[in-house]
Structure 1
Amino acid sequence: MVRKLLIRDLTLRDGQQSAFATRMSQGQIDRILPFYKDAGFYAMEVWGGAVPDSVMRYLNEDPWNRLEKINAVIGNTSKLAALSRGRNLFGYNPYTDEIIDGFCRNAIQSGISIMRIFDALNDVDNIKSTIRYVKKYGGKADCAVCYAIDPHHSAVDRIMAALYGHPLHKPVFTDDYFLTKARQMEAQGADIITIKDMSGLLPPGRTAELVRLFKKNLKVPVDFHTHCTPGYGLASVLMAIVNGVDIVDTSIWNFAGGPSAPAIELVYIFCRKMGIELDVNMEAVANINAQLLEIRKELSSFDVSKSYPRYFDPVDDKIPAEINRFFNDAIEAARKDNEDDVLLYCHAIEEYFNFPEPDDLVRKAQIPGCMYTHIVAQLKQIGRSDLLEKAMSLIPQVRMDAGLPPLVTPICQIIAEQAVSCALDEENGRPVYNNPSNQFVALVKGEYGKTPIPVDPAFRLKIAGIKEEMPYDGSGYIMQENPVLEELGVQLAENEKELLLLELFPTVARTFLTRQKTKRQ
């Protein structure tokens, strides 16, 4: 029996978010939707993440309208998928079940079939409500276990810890940790479990271990999601495929590689050589890619990578013999669990096709690329770029103090900002944590959920003024004000979808909705 691999295309959401700051307009998307209808992807991730915020903030477009227009063209030819941060939905604050219910119902009615649900702390309690409502309204719950790594401790760290009687923590992010989270999600009703490597820090060997572990112990399909930033992406996807993963996430050629996901065209070549069917119309993919090249030129001012990949059509173009051998050798190395060789051959393939080189800074720092750029931007804004190394060195300690959270949005931004603040404290002769941010206080309190290791009560008292954890309590939640625009004689939000935008993005939605109502007059 021929094995089939399902493909979730990320181009219209994670692809453009990672590579072009989520600036694709509705007009640009409309140009490629007819080709997407012919492509036959298992799923297309088109919504969620930064899309609803960005289309209002930068493009003055309605995010609900975007979803409905895509659904009108794609219909049942591919499942439309969205990304949700569990109780945080698309925002940065926890929301009540009432808001989560309304959001899930409207998203599914507007065309979403699969909701990928994750929590930045891997706290399963934070995704239970979304799972329940997604399934209630007929959607599939794709629950993501966020990959995380323990802080790297230098030899000096270990010596100092031993000398002063403060032993370093035991590893937290083990096989048992990840499998326990996956099993808890499956027990809550997950239809798919995703290994979500948002930073691209999951190396091929570890990918193989986790995929085998999940396939052996879970009943639902397993999806693998990663990025190419530090250079592991393509090799890790190959390892996932060789070890039996059911679904992989890819982007299309001109929106792939670098900070984005691996290219489906390269995955197609690997699968063709291994006798694995994708059930994707690659001629339609080539038509999409031709349009994406023009769109990429239009988005050049937001292009993270700048360099374009070498033109290639995997259906019609012949690969040079030496490059073809790299594909074969990479497959053989993956089957032997030889991580070094898989990386060697995959890097050679990516270099030939002119995909961005691995970002060694991100790999060595072991933090997401977006977190690094956030720190750089913060320090530049205050004229203290000289403190970059200091701020980076403080991240492991800040993270440990806060309960060792995975570095995922929005937590990675909270840790980044606090590390910068602590660096400034030290530089100015003040005690660290002299001025903790409101978000860091909320994290330490427990308002974002349970951290992988408990926060020291003495540290919580110092930062938040309480010793005991204080979880989020929605009983005092107050809905956003929905004023009447006197000069227009209408309410700012006139229906449930607009009310939801106002709840999730108060400032951005207020400006957007006011513009829309004014334009309508």
Structure 2
Amino acid sequence: MEKEVKFSLVFRDMWQSAGKYVPRVDQLVKVAPAIIEMGCFARVETNGGGFEQVNLLFGENPNNAVRQWTKPFHEVGIQTHMLDRALNGLRMSPVPADVRKLFYKVKHAQGTDITRTFCGLNDVRNIIPSIGYAHDAGMISQCCLCITYSPIHTVEYYLNMAKQLIDAGCDEICIKDMAGIGRPVFLGKIVAGIKKIKDIPIQYHSHAAPGFNMASILEVCKAGCDYVDVGMDPLSWGTGHADVIAVQAMLKDAGFKVAEINMTAYMKVRSMIQEFMDDFLGLYISLRNRMMNSLLVGPGLPGGMMGSLMADLETNLESINKYKAKHNQPLMSQDELLIKLFDEVSYVWPRVGYPCLVTPFSQYVKNLALMNVIQMEKGKERWSMIADDIWDMILGKAGKLAGPLAPEIIEKAKAEGRTFFNDNPQDNYPDQLDKYRQMMQEKGWEFGQDDEELFEYAMHPAQYEAYRSGKAKADFLADVEKRRAEKNAGGMNTKEPQVLTVDVNGQPYRVTVAFGEVDPAKLGGTQAAAPTAQAAAPAGEGKDILSPLEGKFFLVKNAQETPVKVGDKVNKGDVICYVEAMKTYNAIRAEFSGTVTAICVNSGDAVSEDDVLMKIA
């Protein structure tokens, strides 16, 4: 009897692996019937991780998007699955246990069938609680082995991990080859070994960029894999996934039973994807992410992260070249920065204990490497800027690292008075739902159907507040207009700041959009008549606290923290605010003791390197 292999369309990850955003809910609802009409998918990845945050960045409600997007697939019996970051839930930083439990209840009620849980450290202590949460909510628990290639990550390592998860009651195993660097024979041995432990459903997820994944798909299917994740044109290959047409043809020729593809419907979906890209999503997609690149075999960076990496590089390249221009040094090209980054990732990764390069730890390693490159290009020392979330990974607060830390990292931790942690990571993050309930009641906000608004606020507090105020949508629409103007040069005078008016649910916002290097004094910022809009404190006397990098300014990163106010006394070394960059909150500390005399930007505002954030006298 022919072995059957079923296909899952990773529609969410296709977009995330290409660029910054996924389609809006109206676009998702439009494309769903054509995906169904293709007739070849047993499963569709609908949400998870970046999907939730992207909707908040749009200024849209992600709960509404999940409900509408999953509904048509349910009606025809196609299973929906989502990505869960275990201890980190749907965000980049750890989540309290009560929020994790509510997460499962909410997502099942919204229409998600399968939760694909992974820990970037492959620490089963972070994954196993999610098995129980999924079962309690009525969901299928699919647990991941995050694949990487190192002296530590052997076949035996992965089989031992799989056995622990199976013994803990998971329903399925996902071989999450997020960077596509798993060698084909190596992966086949893992799948065959798992099937000997238990004949459990196995799903293979892989990215195409390094060039291994078609051979890997064939090997894992020969070893007994049941489901294969696929993409489709024009968002297949490159940093994305193998196209369903090629995978289907290869497996069919190899003697596997596979579903037929309705090519008329395929072309409909293909046309719609291009339509969405032409609308605005293509403004956030680097052409480099559409290409295969064997250089990725070395650093092993995941496809889902490469989508945003090129945008990050553009921003940081500008910062580096501003410095070089001021110091009469030759400017750097993007290719030069990319190679320096890849080399630095290869240097950093083993020294911070070989965390699997998957969210959030791929971002942590990449961010740390990029910060090292930036600092060294500006004449500073390596390791001179390490975000607190990255320290938590290094210190063991997020889970056990696979390998040992380099002596230079241990010495730096000791020099800064940081302590290592060996107990259960969840113990570091106490329950918080009651606090968020109180905050919502004080604001007059409803908890929402199935407590979904409470969940969203607790999971993404800063982004949720920006969404509720209308600021998120105003900033997003302004950024789209800026990018369109840059693309269509000549349609707008790009040498001077432009004042645009954007409409957010009937509320007009005046937004100043700057192109290139401009005088900050000419910028008016984002202004809104909405009562929730917060005015920046007037500038007072004192020394400037400057932003060390480009990103978004926040006074706090969660409800446990109390924001600094004008008039507060602070001590040298105190955390006074954050700059969120590349999905990581970078703590800004007081450089001296004194009194805060001015807070010069609003929470959620974009800031550039060397912008004045606060004044302290």
Give TM class, smaller chain: 0.7 to 0.9
Tell me whether 1:301 sits opposite 2:280 in the alignment: no
CA shift, 1:433, in A, is: 2.8
Q: Secondary structure at the match of 1:254?
A: coil
Question: Match of 2:223?
Answer: 243
| 2:524 matched residue in structure 1 | none
Q: Does 1:216 align with 2:153?
A: no
Unmatched 5+ stretches in structure 1: 151-170, 308-355
What is the match of residue 515 of structure 1?
A: 470
- Report the alpha carbon displacement of residue 291 of structure 1 after superposing the two structures with TM: 3.2
Shift of 1:285: 3.9
Partner of 1:422: 372
After the TM superposition, which residues 311-322 of structure 1 pair with which residues of structure 2 at under 5 Å, given as runs? none
Deviations 1:42-85 (A, max 9, x none): 21100002111101202x32211112112332225201111010
Instruction: State the match for 1:160 in structure 2.
Output: none
Amino acid at match of 2:273: L
The alpha-carbon deviation at position 477 of structure 1 amounts to: 4.8
Q: Please report the RMSD computed on the Cα atoms of aligned residues, expressed in angstroms.
A: 3.1
* Pairing 1:175–2:155 present: yes
1:260 aligns with 2:240: yes
Q: Which residue of 1 aligns with 2:121?
A: 121
| AA aligned opposite 1:146 | C
C-alpha distance 490-287 of structure 1, shift in aligned 2 (>3 A): same
1:19 aligns to what SS in structure 2?
coil
Amino acid at match of 1:490: G
After TM superposition, the score normalised by the length of structure 1 is: 0.78
Range with greater deviation from structure 2 (504-513 or 494-503): 494-503
Look up the equivalent residue of 2:364 and give its one-letter code: I
8 Å Cα contact 2:87/2:426 also seen in 1 = no
Work out whether residues 374 and 413 of structure 1, in 8 Å CA contact, stay in contact via their aligned partners in 2.
Answer: no
Please give the alpha-carbon distance, in whole angstroms, between the structure 1 residues aligned to 2:283 and 2:229: 26
Q: State yes or no: 1:503 paired with 2:458.
A: yes
Q: Deviations over 1:324-350 (max 9, x none)?
A: xxxxxxxxxxxxxxxxxxxxxxxxxxx
Q: Is the 8 A contact 1:483 1:492 kept in 2?
A: no
What amino acid sits opposite 1:509 in the alignment? Y
Q: Say whether the 8 Å CA contact 1:134–1:141 is kept in structure 2.
A: yes
Q: Which of residues 398, 409, 421 is equivalent to 2:359?
A: 409
Deviation at 1:493, TM superposition (A): 5.3
Q: 1:475 to 1:511 in 2, by over 3 A?
A: closer
Give the structure with the higher percent strand.
2
Which residue of structure 2 lines up, in the alignment, with residue 363 of structure 1?
297
- The separation in 2 between residues aligned to 1:71 and 1:428, in whole angstroms, is 48
2:112 equivalent in structure 1: 112
By how many angstroms is 1:505 displaced?
1.4
Say if 1:8 and 1:42, in contact at 8 Å, map to a contact too: yes
Q: Whole-Å Cα distance in 1 between the matches of residues 25 and 177 of structure 2?
A: 28
Aligned ranges 1:158-173 → 2 under 5 Å: 171-173=151-153
Q: Is 1:227 aligned to 2:207, yes or no?
A: yes
Q: CA deviation at 1:497?
A: 1.0
Q: Distance in 2 between the 1:185 and 1:3 partners? A: 25
Q: Deviations over 1:85-121 (max 9, x none)?
A: 0110111111122111111011011111110000011
- Higher mean C-alpha deviation, range 360-369 or range 434-443: 360-369
Kindly indicate whether residue 273 of structure 2 is the aligned counterpart of residue 292 of structure 1.
yes
For 2:175 and 2:54, locate their aligned partners in 1 and report how far apart those are by CA, in whole Å: 26
Cα deviation per residue 1:209-261 (whole Å; 9 max; x = unaligned)? 33333333333111111011122222322232233311100012332211111
The list of structure 1 runs, each at least 4 consecutive aligned residues, that deviate by more than 6 angstroms after superposition, is none
**Residues 452, 53 of structure 1: CA spacing in aligned structure 2 closer, same or farther, 3 A cutoff?**
same
- Tell me what 2:345 maps to: 395
State the partner residue of 1:446.
396
Say which is worse superposed, 65-74 or 203-212, in terms of deviation: 203-212
Aligned residue in 1 for 2:317: 380
TM-score normalized with structure 2 length:
0.66
Q: Which residue of 1 aligns with 2:80?
A: 80
Q: 1:280 to 1:74 in 2, by over 3 A?
A: farther
What is the aligned partner in structure 2 of residue 4 from structure 1?
4
Offset, 1:440: 2.2
Looking at structure 2, the residues matched to 363 and 430 of structure 1 have their Cα atoms a distance apart, in angstroms, of 29
Greater RCO (CA < 8 Å, at least 6 residues apart): 1
Q: 1:497 to 1:466 in 2, by over 3 A?
A: same
Q: Distance in 2 between matches of 1:433 and 1:391?
A: 14
Structure 1 or 2: larger helix share?
1
Distance change in 2, residues 1:234/1:388 (3 Å): closer
Give the residue type in structure 2 aligned to 1:300: G
Q: Check whether the contact 1:223–1:246 (CA below 8 A) recurs between aligned residues.
A: yes
Query: Offset at 1:437?
Result: 2.1
How far apart in 1 are the matches of 2:413 and 2:288? 44
* 1:152-171 deviation digits (Å, cap 9, x = unpaired): xxxxxxxxxxxxxxxxxxx2
Aligned-partner SS, 1:121: coil
Q: Distance in 2 between matches of 1:357 and 1:301?
A: 17
